């Protein structure tokens, strides 16, 4: 089964994908979106075109685990996405993935401009990688 990883944002949505064996996660694309509805439509289209069996959306909890405004916004996106697709949609704790993505790109020597263009899809890849690794260990509950 192919799994999509999603890093939701108001202006940009990062998307990553696994191979059919769910071993490798790869950055796929960054979608420039104009509204939450636009984000739902575009992610649903990617899921359909890529024949995703599952979509994992990063949930930006506060560092103490509480739900802040960003997590509430993401939860609303997830609920809308669930109504728009036929596959399962799950959430996954994404705390620190954007920082980890930035660090990985800095280590790779990417310029600020290249990092800015790739950060969302790399963060989506890190969310997805964390999910598939936990799933392999039998720890795939949110």
How do beta strands 12-18 and 88-93 pair? unpaired
Cα angle: 3, vertex 85, 66; to 5 degrees: 70
Give 33-85 pLDDT, tens digit per residue: 999 999 999 999 999 999 999 999 999 987 787 888 999 999 999 999 999 99
**pLDDT tens by residue, 81-100:** 999 999 999 999 887 666 55
The burial class, CB within 10 Å (0-12 / 13-18 / 19+), for 4 is: buried
Query: Can you tell me the distance from the alpha carbon of 128 to that of 123, in angstroms, rounded to the nearest whole number?
Result: 9
Is the model's pLDDT at 107 over the cut of 90?
no
Spacing of C-alpha 12 from chain mean position: 11
| pLDDT band at residue 104 using 50, 70 and 90 as cut-offs | low
Q: Which residue has the tokens 């979509």?
A: 55
All domains of the chain, ordered by start, with CATH? 2-136 (3.30.420.140)
- pTM, rounded to two decimals: 0.86
């Amino acid at each position: 089964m192919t799994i999509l990883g999603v890093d939701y944002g108001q202006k940009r949505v990062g998307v990553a994908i696994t191979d059919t064996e769910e071993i490798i996660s790869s950055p796929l694309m960054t979608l420039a979106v104009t509204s939450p509805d636009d984000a739902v439509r575009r992610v649903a289209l990617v899921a359909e075109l890529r024949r995703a069996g599952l979509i994992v959306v990063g949930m930006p909890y506060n560092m103490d685990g509480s739900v802040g405004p960003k997590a509430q916004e993401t939860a609303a996106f997830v609920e809308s996405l669930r109504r728009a697709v036929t596959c399962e949609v799950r959430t996954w704790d994404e705390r620190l993935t954007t920082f980890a993505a930035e660090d990985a790109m800095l280590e790779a020597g990417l310029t600020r401009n290249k990092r800015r263009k790739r950060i969302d899809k790399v963060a989506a890849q890190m969310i997805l990688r964390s999910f598939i690794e936990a799933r392999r260990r039998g720890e795939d509950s949110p």
